[in-house]
Structure 1
Amino acid sequence: MAAYHPAKHVGDMLELLSRLDVDRCHVVGHDWGSGVAQGLAQFAAERVASLTLMSVGDSSVLLGPDSWQERQRMWHMTMFQFAGLAEEWLSRDDFANLRQMLAGHADRDEVLEPLRAPGALTASLNIYRAALPMEVQLGEPPARPPFAMPVMGVWSTGDPYLTERQMTALASRVPERWRYERVEDAGHWFQLDQPERVNELLLSFLKENG
């Protein structure tokens, strides 16, 4: 299970930067990628020129004592912890339940097809199991240090899984150069729903901090 932990992914990113001989870079992450990007920015701040976080924001709000609204939206995070049961429920009736969960994904069928391979669905769920086991979901969220680089948070108004509050809360961890943007008329995968708007925001932010 250690191979699926976010800390391993942060290590992979650092190794990639070293192999490419890249000292610093602009980092963009969506959903789980946002969590990994935050890990990189916290543990190797000198390597991150700017940070763009999409959909997923402050984990202390997602898992904190006042997070009932967030937990209601993220009920699947708990369900995914039950090995075997989660796989059966998601794949039942030709992935009917997973299809419903991915109803807003523009490339849903393309995403689902690889999960038919033996072990693929379990491998996907192991990311949740390694990063958010029950003891983490029910425990006190760890203290998070402030970010030392410019940060842009982007949230979409049609996201059924994540609240706006957990994104805007990041402002308290960015002493300087915090920017927040909302993408209207888009769901959780807003980079697919509104690609031109997302590209506009990214290019603007990178120009500010290039």
Structure 2
Amino acid sequence: MNHIELHDRDQDVRTERAAVPETRGAAHFARLMARRPDEALSGVRAASPQMYDWLVNGPFAGPLSGSELTMGQRELATVAVLVALGDSERQLAAHAAAALSHGITATELRGIPLHVSVYAGLPRALNALTVIDRVLSQTGSTDPSFLHRVLLGDHGTTVAHAGITGPPVVLVHALGLDWRMWEPVIDRLAVGRRVFAYDVRGHGSATEAPLPSSMKDLATDLFDVMDALDLDRAHVVGLSYGGGIVQTAATLAPERVASMTLMATTNVAFETFEGRARSIEQDGMTAQVAPSLARWFTSDALAVNAWGVRYARGCVLRGDPEHSAAAWRAFQTLDVEGRFTGFGAPTLVLAGERDVSTTPEVMSRIASDIPGARYAEMPGTPHMPTLEQPSLVVKALDEFLPRDPATTQ
């Protein structure tokens, strides 16, 4: 047999392999890894067809294809194992990219090396973080917000910071969550602005704080955060509970508020607040998950179960019952209606069309109570707009908040 015949035979073999019908393992590989196996494993296939066949039609048709874990959970578990093993840069990069394709976020991926460092050591965790950060850069992910610890009057908290120039903006989160509620928008708002978000007393990293007794306590905390950041004035943005805090602060020291944005909030206490506090004390935090998420998200978002829903569910389950009940009772002391006569700072009142808690009717009444306030409504948006419709939030705030004129979008 001459050289040409050998070449033709090899070509026939390659064509025959390529024409093999897709197997169950190959189909699942493509779903899990977001790449066809003959493309992702072309080197393996060329070097050892037996290894290729075993890998695709063994693990990917068997233990890696079950319904015990979602594909996102499976990829996150794989990333953790590869971080712990070390010496697996190529595989780690491939599975980190696959995790992103299944809705795992940059924050969740970056959290894996931090978690694994406790069990497998810092060298492996640091090497893995380099690989993951490279994958995130290739996919256009923004850098994480800078976090630092600040001491307030009677407790410490975490402040996230994005942006290096421009007017300061302080974001105040909703009851039951923490500063990460703003994560889907903070970097996009930080173009030409310095944007800060902190954990409110009793939430996130601030659960060692004394219990709040009133909204005035929480407004004082906001001023203490601004003092710690050397901010005499700031553009303050509050959502739900955070909106109550911002309004209270604006009535106590309007000179410190450069502008005010209120989202999904109220200017009077609701009768339901005490009932929610009692439910927490009597039934615990697990019982709060279903009613909270039903108020916060649309049914479509709950069905998809993307990061915002997963994050919110986790926050509720991890919440400290004593602090959560105290927060609802502090919210009961909200009393700002009719107290904005003479308030001169620009104000944006931003409602969600599908908010069942603080409806457009509630929000429009707030706008009418504040001189010169601008009212806007986000279509199709529920009570947690930053977690379900972040692009609409960014668009509205970009149009309202000033920025350093030297920067461009």
- Sort the TM-score into its range (normalised by shorter chain): 0.7 to 0.9
Match of 1:68 in 2: none
The answer on whether the counterparts of 2:244 and 2:267 sit within 8 Å (CA) in structure 1 is no
Counterpart secondary structure, 2:216: helix
The answer on whether the counterparts of 1:57 and 1:168 sit within 8 Å (CA) in structure 2 is no
The answer on whether the counterparts of 1:102 and 1:108 sit within 8 Å (CA) in structure 2 is no
Match of 1:206 in 2: 401
Show the 5 A alignment for 1:67-106: 75=272, 77-82=273-278, 86-88=282-284, 91-92=286-287, 95-98=289-292, 100-102=294-296, 104=298
Show the 5 A alignment for 1:29-44: 29-44=238-253
Counterpart secondary structure, 2:278: coil
Task: Give the aligned CA root-mean-square deviation in angstroms.
Answer: 3.1
Match of 1:127 in 2: 327
The answer on whether the counterparts of 1:153 and 1:181 sit within 8 Å (CA) in structure 2 is yes
Distance 1:15 1:43 in 2: 13
Show the 5 A alignment for 1:1-210: 3-59=212-268, 75=272, 77-82=273-278, 86-88=282-284, 91-92=286-287, 95-98=289-292, 100-102=294-296, 104=298, 107-117=308-318, 120-132=320-332, 143-146=338-341, 147-176=343-372, 178-207=373-402
Distance 2:363 2:292 in 1: 25
Normalised by the size of structure 1, how large is the TM-score?
0.73
The answer on whether the counterparts of 1:10 and 1:37 sit within 8 Å (CA) in structure 2 is yes
Deviation at 1:83, TM superposition (A): 5.9
Task: Tell me the amino acid that sits aligned with residue 252 of structure 2.
Answer: F
Distance 2:363 2:248 in 1: 16
Counterpart secondary structure, 2:377: strand
Distance 1:19 1:85 in 2: 34
Match of 2:23 in 1: none
Task: Tell me the amino acid that sits aligned with residue 396 of structure 2.
Answer: L
Percent identity at matched positions? 25
Match of 1:66 in 2: none
The answer on whether the counterparts of 1:37 and 1:51 sit within 8 Å (CA) in structure 2 is yes
Distance 1:196 1:95 in 2: 25
Distance 1:14 1:142 in 2: 21
The answer on whether the counterparts of 2:349 and 2:363 sit within 8 Å (CA) in structure 1 is yes
Q: What whole-Å deviation, never above 9, does each CA across 1:127-164 have from its counterpart, x for those lacking one?
A: 0023317xx8xxx9865233321110000111111222
Structure 2 residues without counterparts, runs of 5 or longer: 1-209
The answer on whether the counterparts of 2:295 and 2:383 sit within 8 Å (CA) in structure 1 is no
- Which is greater in Rg? 2
Structure 1 residues without counterparts, runs of 5 or longer: 64-70
Distance 1:14 1:131 in 2: 18
The list of structure 1 runs, each at least 4 consecutive aligned residues, that deviate by more than 6 angstroms after superposition, is none
Q: What whole-Å deviation, never above 9, does each CA across 1:156-186 have from its counterpart, x for those lacking one?
A: 111111222221123333333x211100011
CA 1:151–1:166 in structure 2 vs 1: closer, same or farther (change >3 Å)?
same
Distance 2:316 2:367 in 1: 37
Greater relative contact order (CA < 8 Å, ≥ 6 in sequence)? 1
Deviation at 1:95, TM superposition (A): 4.7
